[in-house]
Amino acid sequence: MPSTRRLAAILAADVAGYSRLMGADEEGTHERLKAHLGQLVGPKIKEHRGRTVKNTGDGFLSEFASVVDAVRCAVEIQRGMVERERDVSDERRIAFRIGINLGDVIAEEHDIFGGGVNIAARLEALAEPGGICISSIVHDQVRDKLDFVFEDKGEQQVKNILRPVRTFRVLASRARSSVCPMLIAAPRLSIVVLPFTNLSNDPVQDYFADGITDDLTIDLSRISGSFVISRNIAFTYKNKLMNVREIGRELGVRYVLEGSVRRMGEQVRVNVQLINAETGAHIWAERFDTQRANLAEAQDEITGRLARTLNLELLEHVACKIEREAATDPDARDLVTQGWCCFHHPHSTEIRQKALALFEQALLTRASYK
């Protein structure tokens, strides 16, 4: 079949946190994804007069003659995924990110090419787990034809595209005046501890940096309600040049912890920073200096202090986010106030867990209020 050019609506999708899911349960994730593609995705694309161009291992690429059909199809796929994965835990849940663009493509039998395809792929990467991100040209075509509310996300500078791309997020059905039940966000206290960098002149000291990474991963996993990426998966990013937003999207986590270790004789310095993986913004940074004759004791002291500090920082950051979201609901606002009261009490594990429970209850109250 020779190459042809045509105008098409391109739908690109991938699985949020695919590497993490495969690392946790390779065969189970593969079988479930294959079932979703065969029983939900394929039939929906056909129903809306689209064509599956190819499966990409962790997702799929399809094209439609109509942008209205493409957006309708995307919404129905995301709603279908919510139902199919409803009883699956957050750690194992499969959620697609979908990007849709309208553009001129070079079409072959088993693939399509061109700038329009590239933009669709970049929009996919900008979408939230369970969400849909569309270009402004798609928005202009469908905003008066479909019963959805769209959130303007502004212009985004995306990789390998010269001009900024204005993007919109599909949010809600006007008829129901509520957010579509299709966004599956990463767990609130989800984090990956990236391998700490050894800044010592002695490469042998790599074991010390790796040891701190291991201990922090274990200590943070003990925080109530936390979801921490395993050591084996985190270490696949060692010495890789990737920004934290890419890592967060790939692993499906909200936070990234990274740092460095420098040991000079008996003096050890650890620099560490906590980053919001959704925005790339730094939440907290600290430097730890210690001098110990016993290296094991120094390591225990450093990781213990880091874990305690991060516990508080993570909880406070999540609490502030929930407080902003709950501002319009008096009942939720009252629960947030109670949560802050607990949070500022003298530190104890029981008090912190009670504060987190109140903040999460505020979020649930807000959802029912809407």
Instruction: Indicate which CATH number applies to the domain containing 129.
Output: 3.30.70.1230
pLDDT, one tens digit per residue, over 90-136 is 778 999 999 999 999 998 878 999 989 999 999 998 888 889 999 99
Least confident of 5-14, 34-43, 61-70, 180-189: 180-189
My answer on whether 156 and 116 are in the same domain is: yes
Kindly state whether residues 197 and 276 are assigned to the same domain: yes
**Count of C-beta atoms within a 10 Å radius of residue 251:** 24
- pLDDT at residue 216 is higher than 80: yes
Note whether 255 and 164 are same-domain residues: no
Q: What is the pLDDT of residue 311?
A: 65
pLDDT at 180 over 50: no
- Report which of residues 158 and 71 the model is more confident about: 71
Burial class of residue 109 (count of CB atoms within 10 Å of its CB; 0-12, 13-18, 19+):
exposed
175 shares its domain with 276: no
Q: Does 266 lie in the same domain as 295?
A: yes
Q: At 316, is the pLDDT very low, low, confident or very high (cuts 50, 70, 90)?
A: low
pLDDT number for residue 205: 74
Q: Strands of the chain (E only): list them.
A: 4-15, 50-55, 59-64, 96-107, 112-113, 132-135, 148-156, 165-173, 178-179, 189-193, 197-198, 226-228, 255-264, 267-276, 282-291
Percent of the chain residues topping a pLDDT of 70? 73
| Domain coverage including residue 199 | 189-317
Is 184 inside a domain boundary? no
Q: Residue 233's pLDDT band (boundaries 50, 70, 90)?
A: confident
Distance of CA 7 to the CA centre of its chain: 32
- Which secondary structure element, helix H or strand E, spans residue 307, and what is its range? helix 295-325
β-strands 165-173, 178-179 pairing: antiparallel
Regarding whether 164 and 18 lie in a shared domain, the answer is yes
* Domain shared by 36 and 125, yes or no: yes
Q: Which two tokens stand for residue 294?
A: 């016993």
User: Is residue 98 a part of any domain in this protein?
Assistant: yes
- pLDDT > 90 fraction of the chain, expressed in percent and rounded: 30
**72 has pLDDT over 70:** yes
Tell me how far apart the alpha carbons of residues 204 and 171 are, in angstroms, rounded to a whole number.
Answer: 52
Q: Which residue has the tokens 């050591």?
A: 231
Residue 151 inside a domain? The answer is: yes
Distance CA 272, CA 315 (A): 17
Same domain, 207 and 164: no
pLDDT at 307: 66
Q: What is residue 370's predicted lDDT score, i.e. its pLDDT? A: 40
pLDDT band at 318 (very low <50, low <70, confident <90, very high): low
Q: What is the pLDDT at residue 178?
A: 40
Q: What distances in angstroms separate CA 294 from CA 211, 265, 297, 298, 301, one per listed residue?
A: 15, 11, 5, 6, 11
Please say if the pLDDT value at position 328 is more than 60.
no
pLDDT value, residue 353: 65
**Distance (Å, rounded) from C-alpha 295 to C-alpha 297?**
5
Model pLDDT for residues 191-200, shown as the tens digit of each residue: 899 999 988 8
Residue 336 pLDDT more than 70?
A: no
Number of structural domains in the chain: 3
Does the structure show a pLDDT above 60 at 172?
no
Co-location of 150 and 208 in the same domain: no
Looking at the fold, whether 211 and 304 belong to one and the same domain comes out as yes
Check whether 189 has a pLDDT greater than 80.
no
At residue 41's C-alpha, the angle toward residues 39 and 47, to 5°, is 95
Across 68-82, 88-102, 168-182, 341-355, least confident range: 168-182
Task: Supply the pLDDT for residue 330.
Answer: 64
Whether residues 113 and 157 fall in one domain: yes
Residues 157 and 280 grouped into a single domain: no
Last residue of a domain, one of 179, 201, 233: 179
The whole-number average pLDDT for the span 220-242 is 80
Q: What is the pLDDT of residue 333?
A: 64
Q: Report, as an integer, the average pLDDT of 261-284.
A: 83
Phi-psi region of 58 (alpha: psi -120 to 50; beta: other; left: phi over 0): alpha
Q: Find the distance separating the first CA and the last CA of the chain, reported in whole Å.
A: 52
pLDDT digits (tens, 9 = 90+) for 286-303: 887 877 555 566 566 666
Report the pLDDT value the prediction gives residue 106, as an integer from 0 to 100: 93
Residue of 12 and 212 predicted with greater confidence:
12
